Each structure stands twice: as C-alpha cells, then as structure tokens.
Structure 1
Amino acid sequence: MFAYLARLTLLLALASGLSAGVNAQQKPNPMGSPNEFVQQVADQVLTALKADTAARSGDIKRINQIVDEMILPYVNFEKTTRLAAGRNWREATADQKTALSAAFRGTLARTYSGAFTKVNDSTSIKTLPFRGDANANDVVVKSLVTQRANSQPFSLDYRLEKTPQGWKIYDINVENVWLIENYRNQFTQQINQNGIDGLIAALNQRAQ
C-alpha cells in the first residue's frame, strides 16, 4: 500500500509540475480553461526547477519553497481532506477539521518535494484535449506522464473544481485509482482504531 502511495504521489508531483516547456514563462491563470491552467502550472514549475541550481542538486529546502509557491496555492486541501475523511468529517470538531487538513496538507506537500528530487530531464507530461463541458464547475483533465525516454507513459487524470478564486485541483486518478478513494480507506481504518486525533497524530508522525 505504501509503495503504491509513493508512486501515486510521485506521479502527482510530476503531473503538477512537469511538461514540455511551451509557454514556460506564462503565469498560471486559474480563471482560464482547465487544460490551459494545468499546463501553465506545469510549465511554471518546470522552468523554476531547471533554473534553480539548488533545486537541481536536490536541496529539499529549496524544493519545498518552490512547491509552496507554485503548486500548493492551486490545490484545495480542505476539500481533499474532507472527501478522504468521508462521514467521519461530519463527526469532527472544528479544531479537528483544521488540524486534520493541516496534517494531510503537510503529508502531501512533503511527498511532492521528495518526488521532485527524483526528476530527470527525460520526464515529461502531455495534457490531452479537454472533452468535458466547458461550462461545468467540476471537471476532469487527462494527461500522460512519461518518466524516461522510450518508456511506457502513465495515465493521470486531475479532478478540478471552479471556485471564486478559479480552478483548484482536489483529486487525481493514477491508472484508474483515485487518490481520495485510496486515502479514504486508510483514514477510515485509522479512525476506527484510534479516532480522528489518532489519524492526525499518525499523519504528523510520518512527517518526522
């Protein structure tokens, strides 16, 4: 299970931050089309990683900064956490909801950063043509991720919601497994054993 999650979050990081460098200097526009928005986030992060000597050398502190500045603002961690917690979210206190969202955000953010230390120049992503309803407020953007030259690409889908601030990513699908669904199983097991506070403690413990 943990091996799968490591692979899944690696692909999430790659898909959120890597692509062929078209329009690399364009700042992401969350109010634009979902496909263009995802591509712009990818181009921006790739440009930053390639231009930063410390990041290229694997400096995790610098990679953390790039992740914080260029990826996390476009992810709706509260919604991801709420959906992963399922019915248990309704039973949590306001303080527990805040703490759980922060712990889960930290877990995913650190995994993003760790994944970026493994990126090589051959890693690429191709966002596929958008085929959904252009006026919808909840959409799926599909892409293919290639980790090495001549290797078989992985399918990777993003689920995004249109908010007053624009598009926010809140779930991903790696080869027919949605991140929220996968974490929901873990969350439920941990909550059943140790309660919501136990889940928060477990997520924070992984960060140490």
Structure 2
Amino acid sequence: MTGTAIAMPFVAVTRTRCAAVFVVAITLLGLPLYAAAGGPTTASASAGDANTPRGVVQATTGAVINVLANKSLSTDEKRHRVEDIVYARVDFATLSKLVLARSWNELSEEQRKQFMEEFRQNLSATYGRNVESYKNEKVTIIDDHAEARGDWTVRTKIVRNGADDIDVDYRLRQIDGTWKIIDIIIENVSLVANFRSQFQEIMSQGGPTRLLQVLHEKNERGEPLKAPKAATDKS
C-alpha cells in the first residue's frame, strides 16, 4: 500500500511524553492515534473506509485534528472533545484485560469497574496536558496487515522537521462488528506491555486492593503512570 501523509500533534518518544502518545493517539498521547488533517483521504474518509482498521485510524485522527486546530475552543473544551473521540475508538474493557493479563481474574466485578475508571482517568489526565502541543507534524500510514487471531495492525510514521522520525503502530480488534484500538506500539515498545509490567509489580505488593489504591492516589495527585522508554529514545 502507498503511504498517506497526514498532519499529527507532536509526540516525543520520552518517558514523560510517551504516555500521552497512547491516549492522544490515543497524543494519548497527541497519541498518533489521529491520522489526518484536512485531506480527502483522512478527515473525510468514506463510510466504507471507516469500517476498516486503516479507516478507523484515518477518520479518528481527522476528527481529533479538527478539534486541536480549533482556536475558538478552550483547553478544557479541546480535552473533553478529544476524549470523546478517542474513547469511542478504544475498547477500554479489552485494553484493561490485556494490561492486567491473568491478574484480571483476581479482581471482582466491582474492582474491575473501579480499575477501568481509575486507569482511564490517569490516561486522560496525561494526554489532557498536551492538547495545545499541535505543531503540524506529518504522519505517514505505511501499511496495514492482519495479525494472529484476527487482530489488525496499522503502521504509521511520524515525520518531524529537524528530528528523527517515530514509528507508531496501532493494534486493532473487531469487537461487535466494529474495529477498536487495543494497543499502541511506539518504537517497538507496547504501551499495553509497559503498563502490564507496572501493574504486576504493584499487584505483587498487595493484590487488587493495592493496585486500586495506588492508581487512586496517583489520580488524586495528578501523577501519570510511567511511560515506556523506547528502544530508540532520542528526544
């Protein structure tokens, strides 16, 4: 497939900025989750394209860019609108299960709900700090391909003026007939794997109760989870 260049919010691959890449990309992170600014193949993707993994990335990014570029919106308004767009494309239940892995079974139904809420709140606070950092960087969709068990990967590259390019892959899964984002891989580092490592360490200190306590305390302090350090951390 041919690459498609699109404008994206600035995402630096460092421990403090990677976390924002997930959400304002999920951004989440701008997360490179956003794919397009103004082009007919991005912001105005057809309904058919929007039902493909590639189309999900393109359409979501187009909607986010429109919000980030809207100077009439306050920072809080941008944050809330981006959050609505992003979380409509992320399956948070699946993401939470993947992050906790086998530990998910140790949580009661009420604890699972609490975990998802605290985790979401932490990610939202992280990317919310970066909604004003849109600098018209470019993103190229390199290709997309099927993975094991029916998942799909959309490979992108963030092209920055005067800085090294950043490889960002989006893992999607079809859930109830709709393609949803379930992981973001930045410079070969999976955000799911990164958070899983952190949560497993916390769980080893006191199980689900300790995990929920730590997450809640971080949110009370406005302290983000640790972002992964990419293999090629050059920023």
TM-score by length of 2: 0.75
- Structure 1 residue 80 displacement after superposition: 1.2
C-alpha RMSD over aligned residues: 2.3
Q: Structure 1: which 5+ residue stretches go unaligned?
A: none
1:75-100 per-position Cα deviation (integer Å, ceiling 9, x unaligned): 11111111111211111111111111
- 8 A Cα contact 2:20 2:123, kept in partner: no
DSSP-derived class of the 2:69 partner: helix
**Does the 8 Å contact 1:158/1:173 carry over to 2?**
yes
Q: Which amino acid aligns with 1:193?
A: Q
2:17 to 3, 7, 11: 7
Contact 1:160-1:170 within 8 A present in 2 as well: yes
How far apart in 1 are the matches of 2:199 and 2:216?
A: 13
The structure with the greater share of residues assigned to helix is 1
Aligned residues: 198
* Runs of 4 or more above 4 Å deviation: 25-31
Counterpart of 1:186 in structure 2 is: 198
Q: 1:130 aligns with which of 130, 133, 144?
A: 144
Question: Which residue number corresponds to residue 58 of structure 2?
Answer: 39
For residues 41-60 of structure 1, the aligned pairs below 5 Å read 41-55=60-74, 59=75
Identity in percent: 23
Question: Which runs of no fewer than 5 residues in structure 2 stay unpaired?
Answer: 1-12, 221-235
Alignment of 1:13-28 (within 5 A): 13=27, 14=30, 15-23=32-40, 24-26=43-45
Q: Which residue of 2 aligns with 1:144?
A: 157
Residues of 2 paired with 1:171 and 1:120: CA distance?
A: 24
* Equivalent residue number for residue 81 of structure 1: 96
Please identify, of 66-75 and 108-117, the stretch whose mean Cα deviation from structure 2 is larger: 108-117
Shift of 1:31: 5.8
Q: 1: distance between equivalents of 2:39 and 2:49?
A: 17
Counterpart-to-counterpart distance in 2, 1:7 and 1:131: 27
CA distance in 2, matches of 1:27, 1:186: 39
Shift of 1:118: 2.2
